[in-house]
Structure 1
Amino acid sequence: MKVFLVAFFLLVSNLLVRAESIRIKDTITPDKTMVYKTIDNTKLSLHVFNPKGHQITHQTPVIVFFFGGGWVGGNPKQFYEQSRYFADRGVVAISAEYRVHKTHGSTPFDAVTDGKSVMRWVREHASDLGIDPNKIVAAGGSAGGHVAACTGSIEGYDEVGEDLSISSKPNAMILYNPVLDTTEKGYGLAKVGESRKTDISPNHHIKKGMVPTLICHGKADKTVPFENAERFYSAMKEAGNTCQLEAFEAKGHGFFNSSFFRGNKADKIVYTELMQKSYAFLKAQFINSDVKPANLFSDHMVLQRGMHVPVWGTAKASQEVIVSFAGQQKTARADVYGSWHVQLDTLQPSKTGRDLIISGEKDTVISDVLVGEVWICSGQSNMAMQPKAVPEIEALVSKAKHIRSFEVNRTVSLQEEAEVNGSWSAQTSKSAVGFSFACFLEEAGDMPVGIIHNSWGSSSIEAWMPRAMTKEFDYYKTIMDDFDDDTLTQNRIKYIVAKGENRTIKEDVFLRRQPNILYNAMMKPLAPYAVRGLVWYQGERNTRYISGVPEVTKANWFHKVSGMKEYGGILSAWIEEYRKVWQNDAMEFMVVMLPGYGKGTVNTPEIDPNDPTAESWAWMRESQLQVLKLPNTSVINTIDLGAIKNIHPKDKLPIGQRLALEAAKQTLGQNIIAEGPKMKLIVLKKQKLIVNFYNAEGLKTTDGKSPTGFWISDETMQWKSAQAKIKGETVILKSKAIKRPIYIRYAFSGKPDVNLVNGANLPAYPFRTDSED
């Protein structure tokens, strides 16, 4: 009976969610519908989407979409979601109706005539629509892309009686898998006829002076050959026109469609990319004003020494940009998306603040720019803990001289953003770990340090994972597929984000525990800012389960994260993915090992903190250590730190010190001991196990007593606390209860009692030698 009730509950819940999703989907409707032409008693309409608060006194750009369907069928709903996307960004969007053969007995020539009527009507009624008549974009997909392209390329085919003094040509075009050739080389010959096959074939009417055009085309399109788009692009460039062709590998004819129109068949990742490129293109033509650097470039920033430094931003399409700094001058020209990018040559450290000047029609001066070491400090609540919570770290504030911080504002996005919210400051970083790391690194290197603090409490690694990782991890693909289908959650996220700082704590928690959306808003837009590396203090959220992704309920929805045993492989792939995003294979990653803690998993919360077999954080530490298989990685040992009952321990100062030691050795080239002893080799001698270590010079204990935290076992896997003795740079283990010891676990428990250090007083790393079946 209990099983039946649970199943019934889940069934009802799914039905309710599905019903709600359908209800929400149906709310994507136009703000108004307007008839632009009546022909043969047929009224053709425009489905208009306005920005929030739009007034007819406004003069915004407008984008007009034409649906596909081979000139035979289709309807304006195909571009409803795209229209709403643009309206949400301040652009009036229109999804236009035109005649199709199935409904009106019409031809492609009639469709072109209707398309030109739409352009002319929109321009004539600009004051009624609240648009700028000189900022009209014609857009569409497939046959609709053909109609849009014809408005910008084909002469004639004007409706009888229309005022031809009003231009029917758009000011730009955005075309998705468009029909650009109606001959035997393309699509539609049977519908236009052999004798008229080039009459409305855009590829045969390209001339100088055509409007800027963006074409997005799938290379696997079997309906409209990709070669058609290549030919259009080449001819446009030869004529001296602005044209951008975006090729999408392995994508077929309808890849540009949204979920609203195509349901689960839609490629959400590609659709998002299409919309971002489309909006950037429109923005570059009609919205961008003068040169604007990305938000990361502001007063008091620190630039990375010793490597090429990208500087980027936006401007009007084709605008020239000059960046001047430290005797260098670099020039770039904004592309069709309004993006510009320069790369400064390697810089020497500088404690003296200088101006970085970005010139367009006017100069933008970024002042007090230092050069030194730049690190991102990210993770969850233990990275977010502020200096004022740790007196020893707060005491360092007065000693800091050339430390700057960029605080990334905590927000989320359903898509990857181009800009990050935040600013540079000469004030103390809001991360105790980040700030103390910066203080000790500044002292070690005698140079400025910039910390980009980017953390949010209780966030899982999944929250910081890009969608691209769904291709590598099936569990993550399942999580994201479920997330994409959860319309209720997405709408709640939009509602909370719209509230800004007025959101409640409960709403804040709801945002930070979602997958992917922290990465989109807080991490992705940081790239490719030149940084030495990233400090990662996260993992607590992923210690809920020893292994696997749990079944979730309404009560524990936030548990949909990977388990401890899987975490290491995911973290390693995550590091490699971030290096791709930053285009820097040598990017350093320093992972802060989770410190001692006396609680277990959801299944066994109460544990013996010293038990080497318990479901404790020991398994997470082992996973974290897996990243050492990758180059330019390190794990900062905190096994001697932490608190049995407090998941937010205050002993953060040693973490900052150890991070700085590791960075000084690995990135400043200092010949120092930066890590504690690491197990190198185990030797069995009689009834004893001898542990050989790396970094073991001066091996000792902190209290002068015998080493603690060692457990040994034989093939029965019955673990016994070992008697341990230091001999030189080794530790000898034995137990009266184990005659033939085979395996060792050291510090492999929730909150182990450990005292083994090297001469630099750095703790030995936990390890185990037994393997799992």
Structure 2
Amino acid sequence: MNLFKKLTLFILCTSAFSLSAEITVSKIFSSDMMLQRDKAVTVWGTADSGEKISVKIAGQKHETQVSSGKWSLKLEPLKVSGPHKMLIEGSNKIEFDNILVGDIWLCGGQSNMDYDIRSYVNWGRKPHKEYTSIVNNFASYDQIRLAKMNKISTLPNQYDVPFVEDKTFKGKWMKASDNKELILGSSAVGFVFAKKLQADLKIPIGLIDANKGGSFIKFWEPPHALKARGESRPARNMFNSMLGSYAHGFPIKGFIWYQGESDAINLQKAQEYEKTFKTMIEGWRHEFKDPEMPFLFVQLASFERNPYMHGITYPVLRDAQTAALELDNTGMAVAIDLGMIHDIHPPQKIEVSERLFLAAKKVAYNKDIEFSGPLYKSHEIKGNKFNVSFAHSAKGLKAKSIELNGTQLSADKVQGFELAGQNQVFHPAEAKIKGDKVEVTCAQVKKPIALRYAYKGFPYANLYNSVDLPCSPFRTDSFEIKFNPNDAKVYARNLFLSPKLRKIKMTLAQKRQLVIIHDKHLNPEMEKKRQLLWKTRINAMKKYGSSSQEMIKAIANYDNFLNPLIKAIDSEVVNQGIFKDQI
């Protein structure tokens, strides 16, 4: 046989050998992983058709044969235990070690769930010390396992489990006790929730971190929810990759969810949220093959950067979230007292985690505790008195002394209630606590027909139960909610004004007049010139530095252009008397 034939035969033989595929297993399985107790876990992967596969773990051995290049088999449910080894054998061997069996929780949502502990360690205010202490105790968290998902969007069955793979998270399950960076990089809400559960239950806890800042709820709809809504085409979204890639065979204990800010961007989305949210919850349960799986969620915290948008859409979306409690095995953590008026990402996340933990103890673990703040139950109107009854009052209702946005609310006075008559105009009302009821009256409303509590983006309200959990916002009416996008746009306009005008607390009508004057002087042509001068200023700083002559000249050119316009705006505002005695 000549050399050419020998080489050809060698290549053919080695090629045939290489076509024999090694067995693989889904990426959801790894060393240091957590398996859900008391549920049958499916193990799955790929290999050559016809190949025999065996899986051994905790004294169990299961076998199957590969069909169409894929294999799967079910383990018998395991009790709390570990560490274990898992051995997968076929044409090759795959071995995982240090496996624990306990409860797995998935934390999902948008930025308020996504913000990691590092964000609050660096905050420099109240939560800094608490989170720093949590991080410094990392070595004690050996019974907590972390799985962090990459934030990608796919079609169904398009991608295997998208673990984050970087210097900290190695593309697999990780032991929380390995290093501080794992704690710093984990969801602040999710990790503290897991930490409290583990300390209370004394069992291993796994946390799947699957969330995306800025995401709308539609990005999390599973195929089942889309079918229920009549959608025939599969959607490319976050659920398919970050949950759907393993939901069919990898059981978990439950979900915690913090999302909705993006859907409060306008009234229509806020009003659609109730149906979408309920369908999503049922869809997640369907995909994980557990129709009773606990689903715990955070009601939107107080926030009202724009009262003509957030002041209207936030209360509506909170109503939609509260309506999800109609589904079995759901729990809501009210955060109405934990927000910041101008910051959509409030730092009081430890309290959020604690309230989710209380909900988990009741909903998921059937502990005999009070886990919720007061919820509206019913009402009765007698003359000018509006009597409201509440569920979850514990041992009674109370007004709590609390500071909100620099305003101190007293424990001697219940605040946050409003009453309306036939004209549908709401007025602040007086409230008296009587056991698990509140009697509400208002001098301006002789014949009340409707009541609202904390029904604003950022309400000043202080009704709590005896275990210090806040009352959820609510309304008894079904009046049409009106939203004027032009009002929201006017309020949000950033104007170039003198310091004395910027200090004025103006009405929307005054702001509208001011916008007209402002835009007359800074018309589209002048605005283009301003933007060009501003861009020149930015480029000078980047290229030459903040103290360079080029930068000093660019600043002077910008100020020389803008200052006369501001002066002209000031003069016309004074001449028109828009603010009269306010200046």
Same fold (TM over 0.5): yes
Looking at structure 1, the residues matched to 476 and 296 of structure 2 have their Cα atoms a distance apart, in angstroms, of 24
Matched, 1:407 2:148: yes
RMSD: 2.6
User: How much has 1:707 moved relative to structure 2?
Assistant: 1.6
**Which has the larger displacement, 358-367 or 590-599?**
358-367
* Alpha carbons of structure 1 residues 303 and 288: separation in structure 2 relative to 1, 3 Å: farther
Which residue number in structure 2 is paired with residue 769 of structure 1?
476
Which residue number in structure 2 is paired with residue 321 of structure 1?
53
* Alpha carbons of structure 1 residues 433 and 327: separation in structure 2 relative to 1, 3 Å: same
User: How much has 1:679 moved relative to structure 2?
Assistant: 1.2
User: How much has 1:425 moved relative to structure 2?
Assistant: 0.7
Matched, 1:440 2:196: yes
User: How much has 1:286 moved relative to structure 2?
Assistant: 9.2
Query: Larger C-alpha radius of gyration, 1 or 2?
Result: 1
* Alpha carbons of structure 1 residues 600 and 570: separation in structure 2 relative to 1, 3 Å: farther
User: How much has 1:295 moved relative to structure 2?
Assistant: 0.3
Which residue number in structure 2 is paired with residue 369 of structure 1?
99
User: How much has 1:600 moved relative to structure 2?
Assistant: 4.1
SS in 1 for 2:275: helix
Which residue number in structure 1 is paired with residue 116 of structure 2?
386
Matched, 1:723 2:436: no
Which residue number in structure 2 is paired with residue 449 of structure 1?
205
Contact 1:600 1:615 in 2 (8 A): no
Looking at structure 1, the residues matched to 13 and 381 of structure 2 have their Cα atoms a distance apart, in angstroms, of 83
Which residue number in structure 2 is paired with residue 633 of structure 1?
330
SS in 2 for 1:624: helix
> What amino acid is the match of 1:635?
M
> What amino acid is the match of 1:291?
I
Contact 1:441 1:661 in 2 (8 A): no
Matched, 1:531 2:263: no
Which residue number in structure 1 is paired with residue 556 of structure 2?
none
User: How much has 1:617 moved relative to structure 2?
Assistant: 0.8
Contact 1:466 1:516 in 2 (8 A): no
> What amino acid is the match of 2:59?
G
Which residue number in structure 2 is paired with residue 669 of structure 1?
366
User: How much has 1:133 moved relative to structure 2?
Assistant: 12
> What amino acid is the match of 1:388?
R
* Alpha carbons of structure 1 residues 307 and 468: separation in structure 2 relative to 1, 3 Å: closer
Looking at structure 2, the residues matched to 526 and 739 of structure 1 have their Cα atoms a distance apart, in angstroms, of 59
Which residue number in structure 2 is paired with residue 307 of structure 1?
39
> What amino acid is the match of 2:290?
N
Contact 2:83 2:100 in 1 (8 A): yes
Which residue number in structure 2 is paired with residue 174 of structure 1?
none
User: How much has 1:516 moved relative to structure 2?
Assistant: 3.1
Which residue number in structure 1 is paired with residue 507 of structure 2?
none
Looking at structure 2, the residues matched to 544 and 641 of structure 1 have their Cα atoms a distance apart, in angstroms, of 20
Which residue of 243, 259, 263 maps to 1:542?
263
* Alpha carbons of structure 1 residues 287 and 565: separation in structure 2 relative to 1, 3 Å: farther
The structure showing larger relative contact order (alpha-carbon pairs under 8 Å, at least 6 residues apart) is 2
* Alpha carbons of structure 1 residues 516 and 431: separation in structure 2 relative to 1, 3 Å: same
Looking at structure 2, the residues matched to 291 and 133 of structure 1 have their Cα atoms a distance apart, in angstroms, of 19
Contact 1:445 1:664 in 2 (8 A): no
Structure 2: runs of 5+ lacking an equivalent:
1-7, 121-127, 164-171, 177-182, 402-410, 481-583
User: How much has 1:437 moved relative to structure 2?
Assistant: 0.6
User: How much has 1:471 moved relative to structure 2?
Assistant: 4.2
* Alpha carbons of structure 1 residues 382 and 524: separation in structure 2 relative to 1, 3 Å: same
TM-score normalised by structure 2 residue count: 0.70
* Alpha carbons of structure 1 residues 415 and 670: separation in structure 2 relative to 1, 3 Å: closer
Which residue of 274, 298, 304 maps to 1:598?
304
* Alpha carbons of structure 1 residues 287 and 622: separation in structure 2 relative to 1, 3 Å: farther
Which residue of 53, 76, 84 maps to 1:345?
76
| Deviation readout 1:524-573 (Å, 9 max, x if unpaired) | 103131111121211111111101xxxxxxxxxxxxxxx00001101111
**Which has the larger displacement, 640-649 or 576-585?**
576-585
User: How much has 1:662 moved relative to structure 2?
Assistant: 1.0
Matched, 1:520 2:240: yes
* Alpha carbons of structure 1 residues 469 and 595: separation in structure 2 relative to 1, 3 Å: same
> What amino acid is the match of 1:402?
Q
> What amino acid is the match of 1:677?
P
User: How much has 1:413 moved relative to structure 2?
Assistant: 2.6
Which residue number in structure 2 is paired with residue 581 of structure 1?
287
SS in 2 for 1:430: coil
User: How much has 1:578 moved relative to structure 2?
Assistant: 1.7
> What amino acid is the match of 1:312?
W
* Alpha carbons of structure 1 residues 721 and 353: separation in structure 2 relative to 1, 3 Å: same
Which residue number in structure 2 is paired with residue 701 of structure 1?
399
SS in 2 for 1:660: helix
Looking at structure 2, the residues matched to 660 and 522 of structure 1 have their Cα atoms a distance apart, in angstroms, of 23
Matched, 1:396 2:396: no
Looking at structure 2, the residues matched to 576 and 722 of structure 1 have their Cα atoms a distance apart, in angstroms, of 39
Contact 1:393 1:436 in 2 (8 A): no
Looking at structure 2, the residues matched to 417 and 586 of structure 1 have their Cα atoms a distance apart, in angstroms, of 28
Contact 1:437 1:657 in 2 (8 A): yes
Which residue of 151, 156, 175 maps to 1:426?
175
User: How much has 1:517 moved relative to structure 2?
Assistant: 2.9
Looking at structure 1, the residues matched to 339 and 331 of structure 2 have their Cα atoms a distance apart, in angstroms, of 20
Looking at structure 1, the residues matched to 277 and 70 of structure 2 have their Cα atoms a distance apart, in angstroms, of 32
Contact 1:712 1:719 in 2 (8 A): yes
SS in 1 for 2:173: strand
User: How much has 1:454 moved relative to structure 2?
Assistant: 0.7
User: Where do 1:120-269 residues align within 5 Å?
Assistant: none
> What amino acid is the match of 1:340?
W
Matched, 1:565 2:565: no
Looking at structure 1, the residues matched to 451 and 90 of structure 2 have their Cα atoms a distance apart, in angstroms, of 65
Looking at structure 2, the residues matched to 580 and 286 of structure 1 have their Cα atoms a distance apart, in angstroms, of 40
Looking at structure 1, the residues matched to 13 and 293 of structure 2 have their Cα atoms a distance apart, in angstroms, of 46
| Deviation readout 1:664-720 (Å, 9 max, x if unpaired) | 112222111111111112122332111111111232122222221111112221101
Contact 1:319 1:360 in 2 (8 A): yes
* Alpha carbons of structure 1 residues 132 and 599: separation in structure 2 relative to 1, 3 Å: farther
Looking at structure 1, the residues matched to 399 and 65 of structure 2 have their Cα atoms a distance apart, in angstroms, of 62
Percent sequence identity over aligned pairs: 31
Which residue number in structure 2 is paired with residue 164 of structure 1?
none
User: How much has 1:419 moved relative to structure 2?
Assistant: 0.8
SS in 1 for 2:267: coil
Matched, 1:618 2:323: no
User: How much has 1:415 moved relative to structure 2?
Assistant: 5.0
Contact 1:713 1:738 in 2 (8 A): yes
Which residue number in structure 2 is paired with residue 743 of structure 1?
450
> What amino acid is the match of 1:517?
N
Matched, 1:653 2:355: no
Contact 1:334 1:340 in 2 (8 A): yes
| Deviation readout 1:39-66 (Å, 9 max, x if unpaired) | xxxxxxxxxxxxxxxxxxxxxxxxxxxx
* Alpha carbons of structure 1 residues 412 and 742: separation in structure 2 relative to 1, 3 Å: same
> What amino acid is the match of 1:439?
K
Which residue of 757, 761, 768 maps to 2:464?
757
Which residue number in structure 2 is paired with residue 143 of structure 1?
none
Looking at structure 1, the residues matched to 477 and 34 of structure 2 have their Cα atoms a distance apart, in angstroms, of 46
Which residue number in structure 1 is paired with residue 528 of structure 2?
none
Which residue number in structure 2 is paired with residue 682 of structure 1?
379
* Alpha carbons of structure 1 residues 518 and 734: separation in structure 2 relative to 1, 3 Å: same
Structure 1: runs of 5+ lacking an equivalent:
1-126, 136-284, 482-514, 548-562, 608-613
Contact 2:224 2:286 in 1 (8 A): no
